[in-house]
Amino acid sequence: MPTSPPLTELSHDFAENTRLVTADSDAVKRVLVVLPTYQEADNLDDVLRRLRAAVPAADVLVVDDSSPDGTAEVAKAMAEELGRVDVLVRPKKSGLGSAYRVGFREGLARGYEVLVEMDSDLSHDPAVLPALLAALDQGAALVIGSRYIAGGRIPNWSLYRRSLSRYGNRYAARLLRLDVADATSGFRAYDAAALEQIDLDDVRAEGYGFQIEMTYRMSRLGPVLELPIHFVDRTRGSSKMSLPIVLEAFLLVSRWGVSERLSAIGWGPGVEPGLHIHGASEIPV
């Protein structure tokens, strides 16, 4: 299996002068969209085309975990066609959180001012990205595309899945004292100046746990805003949801909540770095 090339040797260099003008401001910012992929060959073409249409000046980094369905080859072909798409192929499945950490490190090293997370299965509508980016100009450290505020929707989810997600978010918000309705959403935009204050080596969670951990950490650095989105279930490919991912998120939130409360009364050191649950890292998005 091929090894990952060093990031500095990726074949499609990002344009150094790429800029994006947000809808509600004259501020000009460099934007990098990080797309973790595994087995997304059927979706990636559409995702990249719609991304380019929605935010023409944004750059894209596809982080693929050696998908056997040829996702990386699709990404490289689209990079040749569209430009400003770079592809990093990792040697094995290594997890959602680690894919974003790799992308964030590269984006910060290259001087991007905004880092974007989104799914590569068309669950997140790229047309919403300009609104997320514009919201950062209101002084937010993090802007989340939320399913659980007024205007947000999740069509086609079963009652069980909807309840698990909604009450999981409420549990996280209560224990971690977050004023956030959808801490597990994977559609979000980070202000790079705030993000670079986080030691990404200390962020070890995967899956939903990664999203909660990043929301928690970013909320300590600046305002977190939420904008309503319509989340659409994938129509091609299979979901990577698993029990280890859900378990990791539950244990992470519980441990952090208890740790924070003990620290408040002088009985503990405070919040510790993220947990790692065996199996969760083996299921990337």
Starting at the edge strand found earlier in the chain, the sheet holding 31-37 runs: 85-89, 59-64, 31-37, 114-117, 188-191, 142-146, 224-228
- Rounded Cα distance, 170 and 147, in Å: 13
The CA-to-CA distance between both ends of the chain, in Å, stands at 20
Residue 240: half-sphere exposure toward Cβ, Cα within 13 Å = 24
Could you give the CA distance from residue 251 to residue 43 in angstroms, rounded to a whole number?
32
- Tell the CATH topology of 7-282: Spore Coat Polysaccharide Biosynthesis Protein SpsA; Chain A (3.90.550)
Q: How far is CA 113 from CA 9, 19, 28, 86, 165, in A?
A: 22, 10, 9, 18, 31
Burial class (CB in 10 A: 0-12, 13-18, 19+), 72: buried
Residue 179, Cβ density class (10 Å: 0-12 exposed, 13-18 middle, ≥19 buried): exposed
- From first to last of its 285 residues, the chain has per-residue pLDDT tens of 333 333 323 433 333 333 343 444 445 789 999 999 999 999 999 999 999 999 999 999 999 999 999 999 999 999 999 999 999 999 999 989 999 999 999 999 999 999 999 999 999 999 999 999 999 989 999 999 999 999 999 888 888 888 888 888 998 899 889 999 999 999 999 999 999 999 999 987 887 789 999 999 999 999 999 999 999 865 555 554 555 666 666 777 777 666 776 566 666 555 544 433 333 333 222
Q: Is residue 238 within 8 Å of residue 200, measured between CB atoms? A: no
Q: Which residues on adjacent β-strands are paired with residue 31? A: 114
